[in-house]
Amino acid sequence: MCEINIQNAQRKLRKYRDLLTSPVYPVASVLVPWIKWTYLESASSTEELEVHKAAVQAFWDDSYAGIVIGEPVIEEEAPTGADPPLVSALFT
C-alpha cells in the first residue's frame, strides 16, 4: 500500500515539475501585473532567468508580435439640425 502511495506522489511531482519547466509558467508569471519579473528574478539563477526571458520573448513573438492593429473606427455623427426621431416625437 505504501509503495502505491509513493509512486502516485512521485507521478504528481513529475507532472508539476514539468509544468514549472514549461514556457507557460514564466509567461504566466510575467503577465500578472503585481508580480512581473520580480518573482522570477528572486527565484531563478542567472542562467534560468535567461531561459525564462527567452521563453517569454518567443511566446510574445509567436502570439502577439504579428498582430496588426489598424486605425480606430470612428462612427460618423448624425447631421446637425435634424432632431433625433424620439425627441421630435415628444414635442409635436
pLDDT of residue 50: 92
Task: Pick left, alpha or beta for residue 36 (phi over 0 → left; psi -120 to 50 → alpha; otherwise beta).
Answer: left
- Record the pTM: 0.50
- Whether 85 shows a pLDDT value over 70: the answer reads no
Q: What is the pLDDT of residues 7-43, one digit of tens each?
A: 998 888 888 777 766 777 788 888 887 888 888 888 8
Residue 22: DSSP 8-state: S
